[in-house]
């Protein structure tokens, strides 16, 4: 690794040889996550031996919903952020299977930023959460598991509309 990595969150176990030397800030993460209820970091189990490593993703086991769609984002530019939307009912788990990126989440009241850099961590994002992905490392591959098939009507792409939506949901 060489240079010091500024880590906001790290859920990988300290014993994991692949991520040796990375600060473990589990307690800080747990305290920060009390702010946004529909966002949580999921620790994924790595199975490995001398041949390599494997992570299994199973709906209703380590993924908290029925998986309807899987896609991945790659070949992104470091200075080109993505996302800038929320979903009305869709849930997602984001996993950085290669490289690193940051995810900004916003529930209309609180904002948090997660640094995804390990295939053994997934970021669960529930419905009605604004998300922005940025600061992609070279070679970053961000895998996304979604609870619904693609539907353009499911997206809220205007931030002020998102804020109106969350205010209405809190009242009702």
The confidence band for 3, taking pLDDT boundaries of 50, 70 and 90, is very low
Pick from 9, 29, 28, 27: nearest CA to 19: 9
Assess whether pLDDT exceeds 90 at residue 20. Answer: no
DSSP-derived letter for residue 160 is H
Assess whether pLDDT exceeds 50 at residue 12. Answer: no
**Residue tagged active-site, from 10, 24, 85, 87:** 85
Task: State the pTM of this model.
Answer: 0.78
Alpha helices, DSSP H, located in the chain: 26-32, 159-171
Assess whether pLDDT exceeds 70 at residue 25. Answer: no
CATH number of 17-171: 2.60.120.10
Query: What whole-number distance in Å separates Cα of residue 34 and Cα of residue 53?
Result: 32
The confidence band for 171, taking pLDDT boundaries of 50, 70 and 90, is low
What pLDDT was estimated at residue 169?
A: 74
Q: Is 85 an active-site residue?
A: yes
Using an 8 Å Cβ cutoff, are 42 and 29 in contact?
Answer: no
């Amino acid at each position: 690794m060489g240079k010091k990595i500024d880590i906001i969150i790290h859920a990988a176990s300290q014993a994991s040889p692949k991520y040796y030397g990375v600060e473990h800030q589990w307690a800080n993460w747990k305290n920060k996550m009390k702010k946004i209820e529909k966002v949580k970091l999921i620790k994924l189990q790595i199975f490995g031996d001398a041949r390599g490593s494997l992570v299994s993703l199973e709906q209703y086991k380590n993924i908290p919903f029925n998986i309807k769609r899987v896609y991945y984002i790659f070949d992104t530019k470091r200075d080109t952020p993505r996302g800038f939307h929320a979903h009305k009912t869709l849930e997602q788990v984001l996993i950085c299977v290669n490289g690193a990126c940051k995810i900004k989440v916003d529930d209309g009241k609180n904002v948090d930023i997660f640094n995804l850099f390990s295939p053994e961590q997934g970021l669960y994002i529930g419905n009605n959460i604004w998300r922005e992905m940025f600061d992609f490392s070279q070679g970053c591959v961000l895998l996304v598991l979604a609870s619904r098939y693609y539907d353009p009507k499911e997206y809220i792409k205007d931030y002020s509309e998102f804020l109106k939506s969350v205010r209405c949901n809190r009242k009702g």
